[in-house]
Structure 1
């Protein structure tokens, strides 16, 4: 019976992952949306980089990128509670950085709270605090990672 239950859970999890079309981030609304069949099936409150207006141009500008990317590998061991890497910079970002003679930066992720954070997540998520990443509460990060897989497209809107 336990084996049958495990198989059923695995099949249900696989079907959830297979149906997600994309993740959309609306920076102006501080929201991350999970999209399935052109419908929002889940919404999360987010925090952004400390300078949230405008597209990320160079390393250290504390801006969150805007554009089309992919979710890449999941990281379980970092300075933040769980994270998933975003494929920034893309070809356009690199070309722009070359033109401006700057380093476009990288290491942009969706992640949970900083390890060891003692303030309530509701407080921490009430302001923009990252260096350019997209931050969720730890509970929301667990939900996000249960819904998406590496390769899922992510669109980050101004």
Structure 2
């Protein structure tokens, strides 16, 4: 028979296990740049020229070519900045990318379409596992445990270069 103390101890253990925060701390070298290589499906966090971490990534569901307009399923290419952090992301955690810039807006406008926005580096939030190699609407996705590390390491204002 289970007594009251056992039940309380079990509940305390469950509560503490739930405290395993997705918000980690980082005290290593500053991430000065993010380099995304779309063709190799890799993202590198750099401290100047030194690679600190490398991650396998998923891209937009139409991965070839630069993003031209909203809804094209492509991940943008070019130099952008991390411009926001979303701790309440539908995709576990996310870091916003400063897409679209003026050139992106002009390119989309020339096609008679909006440029779109809301491009992020984000996790999978569990339910997006097994969706295939490239499944986002234009974002850069990593595993949930990886976005926790990236979220801790990368600050707003960090340069992100997305190469074809």
Structure 2 unaligned residues grouped into runs of 5+: 1-24
1:78 aligns with 89
Structure 1 unaligned residues grouped into runs of 5+: 1-9
Match of 1:142 among 141, 148, 155: 148
Aligned residues: 140
Runs of 4 or more consecutive aligned structure 1 residues displaced over 6 Å after TM superposition? none
1:154 aligns with 160
Alpha-carbon separation, structure 2, partners of 1:138 and 1:48: 15
Q: Aligned runs of 1:16-95 on 2, under 5 Å?
A: 16=29, 19-95=30-106
Which structure's residues are more often helix, by fraction? 1
Alpha-carbon separation, structure 1, partners of 2:98 and 2:48: 23
Is the CA contact 2:73–2:138 (under 8 Å) kept in the aligned structure 1? Answer: yes
The RMSD of aligned alpha carbons is 1.8
Alpha-carbon separation, structure 2, partners of 1:84 and 1:148: 8
Bigger Cα Rg = 2
The TM-score, its normalising length taken from structure 2, stands at 0.79
Alpha-carbon separation, structure 2, partners of 1:118 and 1:38: 33
Is the CA contact 1:69–1:155 (under 8 Å) kept in the aligned structure 2? Answer: yes
The TM-score, its normalising length taken from structure 1, stands at 0.82
Alpha-carbon separation, structure 1, partners of 2:61 and 2:162: 16
Match of 1:97 among 94, 108, 113: 108
Is the CA contact 1:21–1:38 (under 8 Å) kept in the aligned structure 2? Answer: no
Alpha-carbon separation, structure 2, partners of 1:98 and 1:61: 14
